[in-house]
Structure 1
Amino acid sequence: MTPAAVGSGRREGGRVVWQLLLTLWVGSVWSLHFVFLPALEHSGLAPLLVDDAALTLRPAVLGISAVAMLLQFVVLVVRVRGAIWRDVRTQVLVLALAAVGAFFLFRGAGNQLLMLMSYLVVAFAGLVLAVQPRPDESVADI
């Protein structure tokens, strides 16, 4: 195998990992809040059951999302090297991770309204991250 082929495969690997992780956490956060929980409400379940499902599923989804965000951060560190903290994707990932931390902090305090707000901050940070270019492409490539 030529060195050029090895290098391009590594580049493709970072692209695939970035997109899969982004799809995993952003898709799960959005589909839980805007598809699954409203479908449970629409199916006629008691509101307390829907709330209990939300209280059980949201922390699980955000835990998985936090792991995916950390892995995306590793991909950014490898790809963007020098100006990591000036990169918008890094700032959005840090915002989303802080919102996940706030979610679990508010969960411990029992404040459901602030938990929901933190969850929505994670959801919209993911949406902002989804429209950003991948770490392997520049703005001029788009």
Structure 2
Amino acid sequence: MRSSRFAIFKPGARDAGSISWLLAQTLWVGGLWLLHFLILPAIAKSGLASLLVEEIGSSLRPLLVGLAAACAGLQMMVLVRVERLASMWRDTRGQLLLVVVVMAGSYFGVRALLPGSDLWLMFSYLVMAFCGLLLVLQPVPVTAAVRQ
């Protein structure tokens, strides 16, 4: 019997959708948690002025929120492709991704319209971070060809 030039799916193998899901999830969830709970406290303990630490945080947080929105959008596309649109609304992963996208939109909307509302910005940032943490605990969507 001749070997095929096409890839054969083995148990544990992943398709492009699940690989992109994992990569996007690692980027945005890891980035949000890393900045807020590791980098900014480490910079603050290093002896830099608190105003400088706040300035670094206020310039990096919107970048990470934008990255989170883009990566969550990519994950939503993967989920729709694998699970279909109707089941995405009932799926926990889809609901968490929708919360992340809505919170990212509210972050940028409130930031543009009400510049002094730092409490809401921090709230939406932390909601996105905790939704990401819950999303990490969910199974990765895989296509039917990989499941077999």
Question: Is TM-score (shorter-chain normalized) higher than 0.5?
Answer: yes
TM-superposed deviation, 1:43: 0.6
Counterpart secondary structure, 1:85? helix
TM-superposed deviation, 1:4: 7.2
Extract unaligned runs of 5+ from structure 2.
none
Counterpart secondary structure, 2:142? coil
- Quote the residue 1:128 is aligned against: 134
- Quote the residue 2:20 is aligned against: 17
TM-superposed deviation, 1:74: 0.4
Return the alpha-carbon distance in structure 1 between the equivalents of residues 110 and 40 of structure 2: 21
1:78–1:2 Cα change, 3 Å: farther
Q: Which moved more, 1:41-50 or 1:10-19?
A: 10-19
TM-superposed deviation, 1:106: 2.1
Does 2:103 align with 1:99?
yes
TM-superposed deviation, 1:3: 6.7
Return the alpha-carbon distance in structure 2 between the equivalents of residues 75 and 15 of structure 1: 8
Return the alpha-carbon distance in structure 1 between the equivalents of residues 136 and 31 of structure 2: 13
- Quote the residue 2:91 is aligned against: 87
Task: Tell me the alpha carbon deviations over residues 78-117 of structure 1, each in whole angstroms, 9 at most, x when there is no partner.
Answer: 0001412111100000001111111112212121111001
Percent identity of paired positions between Structure 1 and Structure 2: 42
Return the alpha-carbon distance in structure 2 between the equivalents of residues 48 and 33 of structure 1: 16
- Quote the residue 2:53 is aligned against: 50
The residue type equivalent to 2:15 in the other structure is: E
- Quote the residue 1:28 is aligned against: 31
Q: How many residues align?
A: 136
The residue type equivalent to 1:41 in the other structure is: A
Structure that is richer in helix per residue: 1
- Quote the residue 1:64 is aligned against: 67
Return the alpha-carbon distance in structure 1 between the equivalents of residues 77 and 96 of structure 2: 14
Which structure has the bigger radius of gyration? 2
Q: Which moved more, 1:79-88 or 1:66-75?
A: 79-88
Counterpart secondary structure, 1:28? helix
Higher RCO, 1 or 2 (CA under 8 Å, sep at least 6)? 2
